[in-house]
Amino acid sequence: MKKLMELMAEELASAFEKAGYDPEYGKVTVSNRPDLCEYQCNGAMAGAKAYKKAPFMIADDVVAFLKDSNIFSVAEVVKPGFINLRVKEEFLAEYLCKMAADPKYSVNTAEQPKTIIIDYGGPNVAKPLHVGHLRSAIIGESIKRIGRFVGHKVIGDVHLGDWGLQMGLIITELKHRKPELVYFDDSFEGEYPEEAPFTISELEEIYPCASGKSKVDEEYRNEALEATHQLQQGKRGYMALWNHIMQVSVTDLKRNYNNLNVSFDLWKKESDAQPYIPDMVQQMKDQGFAYEDQGALVVDVKEESDTKEIPPCMLLKSDGASLYTTTDLATIVERVKLFDPDEILYVVDKRQELHFIQVFRCARKTGLVKPETELSFLGFGTMNGKDGKPFKTRDGGVMRLENLIADIDEEMFHKIVENRSVKDQDAKETAEIVGLSAIKYGDLSNQATKDYVFDIDRFTSFEGNTGPYILYTIVRIKSILNRYKEEGGNLDAGEILPAVNASQKNLMLELTKFGSTIENAFEEKAPHKICAYIYEVSNAFNSFYHETKILSEEDQAQKESFLKLLGLTKDILETSIDLLGFSAPDRM
């Protein structure tokens, strides 16, 4: 289905051509002066130099061919040569009827669908999710959903950190606390217990304790490094403990991600990439890319155009141990082998940009990916508190994600109960739905690459550019539609008719932008554009609602038209928030 802007541009291009000018000048933009017109064309201004003619003369020639337009009710020239445009109410109504009948409301399915892997989440096992994990999960989930909606095959991978020093620290601390455990008995040859020798709560206490010790006790740290090495060499008892750590951690991670309405297709781990490392490293040596530098194995990745120093990409440390770069490169090898993706997108903290520049360049230089395979980095900014510093708990610690969600839910619960709009037994469930919108919209409404202030008071408000305001708008529409249905009305009857007032036409024009907004949001990996769009739609709807008698309209055909328009507005808003990763309750 063609976008409204495309149809308008075709009409303008045709008029320019008929008037004897290059049709390329017939581009249309949304007016920056909505009090004067809805759209405008500045092509006459651009063509003045080429045709050695005053812009208003060119514009006059073009407008002469728009007098019988099916699309425009007004096409007038404003000096020095702007063409101001207004859309016919009849044409707009017909366009919205077609949108309503389109399963994707004018979003076109990609002609050449890609296979895209999104690497988002990235938690370390044995550690609780904290607010630092929020942005990757929320942004990655939204981009995954948008990509699928426009027709691509998008695969989400959590990419767990499970193979580093934290494993050696946990094993070492367990050994100190419970040396009698069978996992530490080298002579043991039987089956290890099925049940883990710790709970998730104990595990989450063990790691920071061990980490703290390793920073002040060099002997303890060396013991942990040795335990890490033995695990990576496949020591039987340590592998059994590792399996317990993984099982307990992943179960808890899935529960927490589920509370965020975030899901992954793959629960791949750093350890999954380990088998690919030896051959990959050997290949880089054989091809002459990898060389020794002060005992470490590195690949040069600097380029002549670099304006800052890009250090070599280190594959192996002097003791032969692998690093994050090694694991990330081996993960690319694994992904290419298993999925042959057209693009791999990493949604990670922007402070890791240098790391990914090194990894991407190394992967390309050494032929780990095809030349046409895209390796993309979406670096997000920091979530800060009101003091402008990274978000912390009141005592200065890093806040656990589940505690943040609980705080938001509690705030929403109090506001909903104060409103007395939902029965007490439903208020808790409603608060969780609205609370999630507050968190996700609060994050996603900011451009991903920028830092932002996480302000609970503002994000949970029912007014302004917030998730709860968007949901309140959807719930208001649902309430009107339900009331009409309860009164015996048929929501399938009738069709959208031409607008009867300015606020209705404004809402209709906003709805036509859905397709281009979604396609553009995917193209630019920019969920904030969807947030900005639904805020405009919500404002337009609420203006229309306050200025128009909907259910008390006496003309039945007009009433049915209003309700059809409400239905389309609801569908577009609900589709949009689903792409952002949250939903709306029935009441608030």
Dump the DSSP string for 60-94.
Answer: HHHHGGGTT-SSEEEEEEETTTEEEEEE-HHHHHH
pLDDT band at 176 (very low <50, low <70, confident <90, very high): very high
Q: Which pLDDT band holds residue 320 (cuts at 50, 70, 90)?
A: confident
pLDDT band at 533 (very low <50, low <70, confident <90, very high): very high
Q: Are strands 82-87 and 72-78 parallel, antiparallel or unpaired?
A: antiparallel
What is the per-residue pLDDT across 210-264, written as a single tens digit (0 to 9) for each? 999 999 999 999 999 999 999 988 999 999 999 999 999 999 999 999 999 999 9
DSSP string, 337-349: HHH--SEEEEEEE
Please choose, from the candidates 373, 349, 347, 348, the residue with its C-alpha nearest in 3D space to the C-alpha of residue 360. 373
- The pLDDT of residue 421: 66
Q: Which domains does the chain have, with CATH numbers?
A: 4-87 (3.30.1360.70), 165-259 (no CATH), 270-380 (3.40.50)
CA distance 355 to 362: 11
Asked if residue 32 has pLDDT above 90, the reply is no
Q: Which residue has the tokens 């036509």?
A: 512
Q: What is the pTM of this model?
A: 0.94
Per-residue pLDDT tens digits for 65-86? 999 999 999 999 999 999 999 9
Cα angle 219, 241, 137 (rounded to 5 degrees) comes to: 95
Rounded Cα–Cα distance for residues 550 and 563 (Å): 8
Q: Collapsing DSSP states into helix, strand and coil, what is residue 161?
A: strand
- 């101001």: which residue's tokens? 84
Kindly give, in sequence order, each residue whose CB lies less than 8 Å from that of residue 331, ignoring residues fewer than 6 positions away: 159, 268, 270, 272, 273
